Amino acid sequence: MTQKYDAIIIGAGVIGTPIAYELSKLGYKTLTVDKQPDAGEGSTAGSCAIVRAHYSTEDGVALAYEGFKYWLDWENYLGNVKDEKGLAKFMNTGSILLKSEGHDWRKVKKHYDAVGVQYEEWDNDTIKAKVPVADVHKFWPVRRPEDPKFYDEPTEMLEGAIFCPEGGYVNDPALSAHNIMRAAETHGAEFIFNAEVVDIRSENNKVKGITLKDGTRIDAGIVVNVGGPHSYKVTQMAKGVWEGCNIKTKSLRHEVMYCPSPDGYDYLNDGYHMSDGDVGCYTRPEVGNMFLIGSEDPECDKREIVDPDEFYAGRGGHGKDNVLTDEQWKAQCYRWAKRVPSLQVPNQPKGVVDLYDISDDWIPIYDKSDMDGFYLAIGTSGNQYKNAPVVGRMMAELIDACEKGRDHDNDPFQYDFKYLTRTINVGFFSRKREINQDSSFSVNG
């Protein structure tokens, strides 16, 4: 017997679970399907879960700053739900954006002013007082250790920093998705795991449902692709949808490194999230008094597009894709050692390798598609974790409006934020848009 729902969400990560949560609150009978064994166990589990406001566009800043309000009030967002695994915690460290040539920080500041983001401007003396292990020299341009000029002595100083006190990170990204799943279930949402979608069924360009690898057919008039690194494969299952997207998505391999904090510096409890375009790295505290060090995708770093099926099949030490590379470990750790000269760079790489689901311009697609009833929340990795609760509500309202007859392509849906006194044109995230040249074309969005 074929099962039937109002809406099927493909993907139970940190973006998929809020969509299920918000659609369920609107009265839709939802089923979320994921090939992993539990919520948040795909690429969400490998997220750095950083909550910061600096983006290259005003709409990006607004979406992120709205997201702050959810993370700062996490229990109320969840409806005070109980989760047997406990609740994820927002670590409100504050977020430092160094003023550098690697970031268009003047544009960020302009966007902060337009949106109403709280921030402080710090001079170099303030940076040193707040982050005593930091060297405030300028090291631009970003280079790799194999470049002989990498070791040139710096002669100029940074211009300071912009500090956003409401920023920080979430201590357990997988748990945050699990929390949202439990909240969704209180509104009737259902979830199935270890279930792989192999077909999007349709008739007369109207979605009819999905077929699983084991042959199970599940019907729904709404299907939402939130497949993370697999999103492009799911898009291609829906007849005519891939061809109708001017902006495409792909799966990018990404490495994050761990380095112990210098002796005497309690980075875990006293440190900040830092975004440092001058050395092409971002950092945040990690358990064990470690620096978590990620690449901000400078031009000198190689970008490797991979097949997500091959990557995840290699998990557990059986594939080369998910093993830290010596070259990139050195690049990220050595670059951060410029900013923190007393950094304890270990002899052996330690960190996380996972995949980003990126779009052509690193701005996500939150949209309907050319198939009636088939929706897209894709291209989100690297910079959308912090926006997840906002995206859930926005996508649910977009879907509801389209199902009630809204022609979103020609009359874009306008989303009213819950906390900020602001409306966003959801057409900004259209699959039909031209590549946004204001983007950083990097993890910064």
3 state DSSP class of 115: helix
Average pLDDT estimate for 139-167: 97
The predicted model gives 289-296 an average pLDDT of 95
Across 28-42, 91-105, 173-187, 309-323, least confident range = 309-323
318 has a pLDDT exceeding 50: no
pLDDT tens string 373-406: 999 999 998 789 999 999 999 999 999 999 999 9
Q: What tens digit of pLDDT does each residue of 325-380 get?
A: 889 999 999 999 999 999 989 888 899 999 999 999 989 999 999 999 999 999 99
Q: Please say whether the beta carbons of 223 and 199 come within 8 A.
A: no
- Helix runs in 30-133, H state only: 58-72, 74-77, 105-115, 124-130
| CATH architecture assignment, domain 92-168+250-359 | 2-Layer Sandwich (3.30)
Q: Tell me if domain 3-86+172-248+360-429 and domain 92-168+250-359 are identical in fold.
A: no
Q: Could you tell me if 211 and 46 are in contact, meaning their C-beta atoms sit under 8 angstroms apart?
A: no
State the chain's mean pLDDT as an integer.
94
The pLDDT value given to residue 436? 82
Q: What is the pTM of this model?
A: 0.96
Q: Which residues of 285-322 are buried (b: 16+ CB within 10 A; e: fewer)?
A: bbeebbbbbbbbbbebbeeeebebeebbebeeeeeebb
Q: Which of 189, 131, 192, 162 is nearest to 61 (CA)?
A: 162
Burial class (CB in 10 A: 0-12, 13-18, 19+), 149: exposed
Query: In the chain, where are the structural domains located?
Result: 3-86+172-248+360-429, 92-168+250-359
| Fold of the 3-86+172-248+360-429 domain | FAD/NAD(P)-binding domain (3.50.50)
Convert the pLDDT of each residue in 241-278 to its tens digit.
999 999 999 999 999 999 999 999 999 999 999 999 99
